[in-house]
Each structure stands twice: as C-alpha cells, then as structure tokens.
Amino acid sequence: MSARPARAQGTAPATNSDLMAFLSKKTWQFTYFASQLGDGMWGGKNILDFGGNIGNILRDPKSTIDVRRYWCIDVDKEAIEQGEKVYPRGHWLWYNRYCFFFNPCGVQSLRLPELDQLFDYIVAYSVFTNTTPTDMLELVGQLEGRLARKGALAFTFIDPHYRSWPGRYHGNNFLWRLEREQELAAERGETLDIATTDLMSRAQHAEWLMLVNAGDLYVETEDIRRYEAEQQRTCHAFFTERYIKKLFPRATILPPVNNEMQHCCVIRRS
Ligand SMILES: C[S@@+](CC[C@H](N)C(=O)[O-])C[C@H]1O[C@@H](n2cnc3c(N)ncnc32)[C@H](O)[C@@H]1O
C-alpha cells in the first residue's frame, strides 16, 4: 500500500485539501471475501465497500461484482475521486469522518451518509485495523442497519498474537508490524529507534492495542495523547479473536485466508 509521502515527512495539513491522498495498492480483496463468505457469485447483489479507497476490490481478476451495484464510502476524498474516474458507473461517497491518519481534519463520530439502498454484502478490508474500538463499534452498528435480508457484513481485523506465516516468518503479527515500520523508515532514509523488546513485552497479554506513529503503544486504552494533525502518521489497531468475539457475540470469526494476515469477522443479518 502507498503511504502519504508529504504527511510522513511532516507537512502540516491545515484542512483536508492540504492532505496527500492515501491510494491503496492492495489487490485480491474480492478473492479474500468470496472465500470468507463462501460465495463467489456477487453479480446481481448490492455491494458496499466500506473504506474501499479507490475500489481495488473491482480490479481483482476474480471479481464478479456488477460495478453499477457497487458503492464505495471512504474518508479519503482524493481516493474517492480517483475511484470515480476509473469506475464512473459505481457510486462513490466521500465521508468526512475523523480518522487519526486517513482524515485527521474530519468530524468526530459523524454518522454514515444516508443511502437509499440496502446491501447484500458490506465489506471492509483493513479499515478497523486503523480505528479505535469505539469507532469500530459505532460504525459496525450503523453498517449492520444497512444490510438487506440475508445480507452479511464482513470486516477484517489483525490479531496481534497470531502467527500468520509459520515456517516462513518467525514472529506474530505485532512483531511483523514493528519490523515493517523499521523497514519503511529505512526506505525513507530515516532511522527509527523502536524499543521492540519492551513493546513486545507490554503487548504480550493484551486483548487489544494501538500502535501510534510506529513507537507509541497504547494497551487497552483509547486515551491517546494529543498529536498535532501533522504528527498523525499511523495508527495500527490490533484486536484478538477473543476480544472481537466479546464485542460482537453474534459474529462468526474466521482465520486469515489467501495467505493474508487479517482475520475476518462476519455478521449476518438476523
Ligand atoms: C488500509 S486502507 C484499505 C483500503 C481498501 N479497503 C483496500 O483494501 O484497498 C484503509 C481505508 O479505510 C479508510 N477509512 C478509515 N477510516 C474510515 C472510516 N471511518 N470510514 C470510511 N473509511 C475509512 C481509509 O481512508 C482507507 O482508504
């Protein structure tokens, strides 16, 4: 995925229009959700891609989504504009809700935009991996209200203690993130001094945690100190499978598929 170069280098955004866009390069989201939902035939179904960015799910070679029945809601205005240019027959909605990294000038707790449609599938790939549990609970509650009869909401999350690639990678998902942040800093020509051993030890029994700006760890608290908008670089949220099950008791929790690191939480309309 691409980062926001200007933000990462510390350019101060005073308004949304000063922000560099985050344009996702991730692919295979359709394959992932088709597998998790046990259904690859999405033609004729209304699809809401929540936090869908530029609509990469449509680029998946296996996608059976009918673009005219595709809606994308995202807090990144430029991503929405870009997606609309490429897929003008889809429906693109910019949602000016606050998000630590993706929309630091947005409105806190803004309700979802009104939509006339109900959706057969609502998917959110790697969206609640960047939000607080309060945001996730609020948004999932509102999204559930947009499900059609027999509809399903599927969203991903990252379990910090899960080992995604045993035999190929030695650590768990949280260690992978710490090492990845160091790699990314090196690619930018920066040195990042992360206290890996200390962070791993503080995280080891956590049900959930947030890693802010690569080095600031918040364990089971949303009491994040104030960061100026230009300092809001990354916020990676991790939730254990057990914690997600506790928050959403009706949900089915599925392990990662497609060689990915993200679990899937599926909530079907009751
Ligand atoms: C890591 S990217 C993943 C993008 C896309 N789902 C993909 O797989 O390519 C996270 C996306 O979620 C969006 N996002 C974050 N918080 C959001 C919110 N509260 N409502 C809607 N979109 C949100 C971001 O703007 C960003 O496009």
Neighbouring-strand partners of residue 156: 264
Q: How far is the CA of 126 from the centre of ligand 1 (A)?
A: 7
Confidence of residue 167 (pLDDT cuts 50, 70, 90): very high
Rounded to the nearest 5°, which phi and psi values hold at 21?
Answer: -70, 155
Helix, strand, coil percentages, rounded to 5, for the chain:
30, 20, 50
Distance of alpha carbon 106 from alpha carbon 76, whole angstroms: 10
Share of the chain above pLDDT 90, in %: 89
For 107-121, the pLDDT digits (tens) are 999 999 999 999 999
In this prediction, residue 211 carries a pLDDT of 97
* Atom number of ligand 1 nearest to Cα 56: 9
Within 6 A (CB) of ligand 1 lie 1, 22, 24, 26, 29, 50-53, 56, 73-76, 79, 95, 97, 99, 102, 125-127, 130-131, 139
pLDDT reported for residue 20? 66
Ligand 1 mean position to 75 CA, how many Å?
7
Mean pLDDT across the stretch 236-245? Answer: 98
Query: For residue 17, what pLDDT band results from cuts at 50, 70 and 90?
Result: very low
Give the pLDDT confidence of 173-189 residue by residue, as tens digits. 999 999 999 999 999 99
pLDDT band for position 191 (50/70/90)? confident
Q: Are 13 and 231 a contacting pair, CB within 8 Å?
A: no
